[in-house]
A and B are shown apart, each in its own frame.
Chain A
Amino acid sequence: MSRIGLLLGKDLRILRRSPALVLALVAYPIAIAALVALVARFATDRPRVAFVDEDNLPQTLVVGGQSFDVDAVLRQVEQEVDLIPLSAEEADRRLASGDVVAEIIVPSGFASRLRGMAQSPTLILRTSRGGLSGRVERQTEALVFNLNRLLQKAYIQANLDYVELLKHGGTGTFLGNQFTVLGLARAGEILDRILGSTQDPSVAAEARNLREFIDDAQLALDQTGASLRATANPIVLRTEDEARRTQLLSTQLQAYALALTLAILCILVAAAGIALERDENVIGRLARGLVRLTELVVAKIGLAALLAVAFGLGLAIVFAGALTISGENGQPWGRLPLLALGLLLAGAAFGAFGTLLGVLAREARTASLVALLVAVPIVLLGFLPEVSVAPAAWVSRAFPFSHSVTFFQSSLYDFDPWSAVARQAAWLAALTVVFGAGARLGVRRLLT
């Protein structure tokens, strides 16, 4: 067996003798991954938004003959944002202090305009500057869209009632004024009677023209209902509920969980492993021609890569099991070899970085602490979306985390993963070489 193999075997044997440590090394990043996922999912999920009701909205609002439960509408909104009823002054103060990220203001006269159905009432949204304001704006737009969707039914029904009035006649109201309409059907009957009784050919001709118009108008008005609905909804969205992955088992979460686990596990093990050679006073013995320092660095990188493959594949299988149990779309088993390659490359890159940290820290305890302190912000940088925080993404590219995430996602789920996988593999290999070279340069520091 090669000297690197002997060192690797030794490290694996030592790890095997520390099951509690191994368990902690694996469980800790998984727990962190789960927490980060939950925080990302829920922490900013319901931003605090002030709700200023200057119109004293009633519990029930009748629009176009249809009743709307205002409380139910607000409850629906509260699934998206945390609505806090406040006075206008208090809301302004809290918006200025950042306690709420936005104000939704219902101005005076809102309900009466809505009931009148002649003019569109206005809702006012005030937002602060900052990361969540855009999101609140979108959520408020969604709220207005949903309200409009509910109201448009009432508006359409009210318009159809007017059409029915035109067709059949009767009594109606508009802007509070009552009126009576003859209706096309009764007008037609009157014309028929005129046609049957008149001797004047010119009257009969005009009556026939009118009769044709009434028939055409009735035909056209019969289509009004469908036409109004089509105008209100040029495109109808149909929601189909089928067995697909929940967010908790999403491909994105799987890739992030894998990368996060490897980041912490591999950086910690490599950093502590190389520093332990000095703590045990063994590095001097090894350096006496038994092992080249390059081989020592390569052995630590190899250890991290091996652990990455073993634990990464284990996690992938556990994830697949969770998918199967939950009855959702399964793991693409055919892609596991490609994933294994990604795990190997990612583990090596994280391991090289960890080895560099261990060499700089020199002592195993310090190295472990430094590894954890450095690994966490690197991971968090990788979580930031590039479109939102570009500098963070640039910094993140200098570390293996974001490349690992992209590799894992592409290798498992892209229809045509090869170009993305090749690009990320090149990144990971390059980072391994750079960090590994740094570790090799610094490893002499351990010989004291």
Chain B
Amino acid sequence: MTGVDGAHLDAGVGRSRALLRARGVMRRFGRRTALEPTELDVFGGETLALIGPNGAGKSTLLGILAGALIPTDGSVAVDDGLRVGWVPQRPAFYGRLTPRENVELFARLERLDERAEADRLLAALAVPDVRNPASTLSGGNQQRLNLAVALLGRPDVLLLDEPTAALDPGRRQALWDIAGQVRGRGGAVVFVTQNLEELERAADRVVVLLDGRVVFDGSHEAWASSPEADVFA
């Protein structure tokens, strides 16, 4: 169980082992503190939703868990050999490269078989395998390419920052199917969302952030019956 003063805590979520362990992570941007010192464990087999109003520190915490953002203080421990896939809210790929070149480049940087990975992921996520620059793709296709890069090497933990914002319903379902596969392998999925319907449907654990602090960490059921749920409803 992790928590912060005054937060509703619940240890009832099924725990296996902590795949990611954030200890005292905090982040300042200039004088502004985006994330107060935070403790968070991410366990195998769970789907954790990070929610909170804009500017609460959700994306900052997700970026720190992903290793994409260096915390001002604290650290994140990751099991040896554990693969973490990260889907940032804004697509993170080279706009002047084609979709395949992007996947192949990141695959090579990950020391993976670039051709096999590109074939697998472009097909699985229906990313157009075109010779045009990735920046010319539609918003939905760009988000799928973003996801494809995150899924390189079959990650054990998938970190998703508002992943379904630009996806049509069919693609949203495909995304949650993939998330289910990760969880089914004993992995974990952490996602940031503002969509309560998505939260209800996918999350079995909810962490609520407010002004850079965790104010709730518990099961979805506990969240649903907590007074904070009314605030965010």
Q: Which residues of A contact B (CB under 8 A)?
A: 1, 3, 6, 10, 13-14, 17-18, 280-282, 284-291, 444, 447-448
CA distance A10 to B66 in the complex (A): 24
Contacts of B175 in A (CB 8 A): none
The answer to whether A282 and B92 touch (CB under 8 A), given A10-B105, A287-B67, A290-B110, is yes
Closest CB of chain A to B173's CB: distance in Å?
26
- Among B29, B86, B88, B109, which residue has the most Cβ atoms of chain A within 10 A? B109
Find chain A residues with CB under 8 A from B149 CB.
285
Q: Contact check: which of A1, A291, A448 meets B29 at CB < 8 Å?
A: A448
* Chain A residue nearest in CB terms to B135: A280
Within 8 A of A (CB), among B96-142: 96-97, 101, 105-106, 108-110, 133
B153 to chain A, nearest CB (A): 11
Report, nearest first, the 5 A-B pairs whose CB atoms are least far apart.
A284-B68, A288-B67, A281-B92, A290-B109, A14-B96
B29 touches A284 (CB 8 A): no
Closest to B105 in A: A10
Alpha-carbon gap, A334 to B90, bound state (A): 52
Nearest to B94 among chain A residues (CB) is A280
Contacts A281-B88, A282-B93, A284-B69 given; 4 further ones with Cβ under 8 A? A13-B97, A280-B93, A280-B95, A288-B67
What's the Cα separation between A289 and B109 when bound, in Å?
Answer: 9
Chain B residues near A (Cβ < 8 Å): 29, 63, 66-70, 84, 86, 88, 90-97, 101, 105-106, 108-110, 133, 149
Interface of B is mostly: loop
B109 adjacent to A291 (CB under 8 Å): yes
Report the nearest A residue to B149, measured CB to CB.
A285
Q: Which residues from chain B contact A10 at a C-beta distance below 8 Å?
A: 94, 97, 105
B66 surroundings in chain A (CB, below 8 A): 284, 288
Bound-complex Cα distance A13 to B95 (A): 12
Contacts of B95 in A (CB 8 A): 280
10 interchain pairs, CB-CB under 8 A: A13-B97, A14-B97, A280-B93, A282-B94, A284-B68, A284-B92, A285-B86, A285-B88, A285-B92, A291-B109
Say whether, besides A13-B101, A290-B106, A281 and B90 are in contact (CB < 8 Å). Answer: yes
B79 CB, min distance to chain A CBs, angstroms = 14
Residues of B within 8 A of A286 (CB): 109
Q: Is the pair A284, B96 in contact by a Cβ cutoff of 8 Å?
A: no
Nearest to A448 among chain B residues (CB) is B29
**Contact call A289/B67, Cβ cutoff below 8 A:** yes
Among the interface residues A1, A13, A291, which one has the most CB atoms of the partner chain B within 10 A? A13
Q: In whole Å, how far is A359's beta carbon from the nearest beta carbon of chain B?
A: 14
| Residue numbers in A under 8 Å from B105 (CB-CB) | 6, 10
- In Å, the complex CA distance between A201 and B111 comes to 127
CB pair B92–A6 under 8 Å, yes or no, is no
Contacting residues, chain A, for B86 (C-beta < 8 A): 284-285, 288
Chain B hits for A1, CB < 8 A: 108
Closest to B90 in A: A281
Distance in angstroms between the alpha carbons of A48 and B110 in the assembled complex: 68
Cβ B68 vs Cβ A3 within 8 A: no
- Closest beta carbon of chain A to B66's beta carbon, Å: 6
**Complex CA–CA separation, A447 to B66 (angstroms):** 12
Chain B residues within an 8 Å CB radius of A287: 67-68, 70
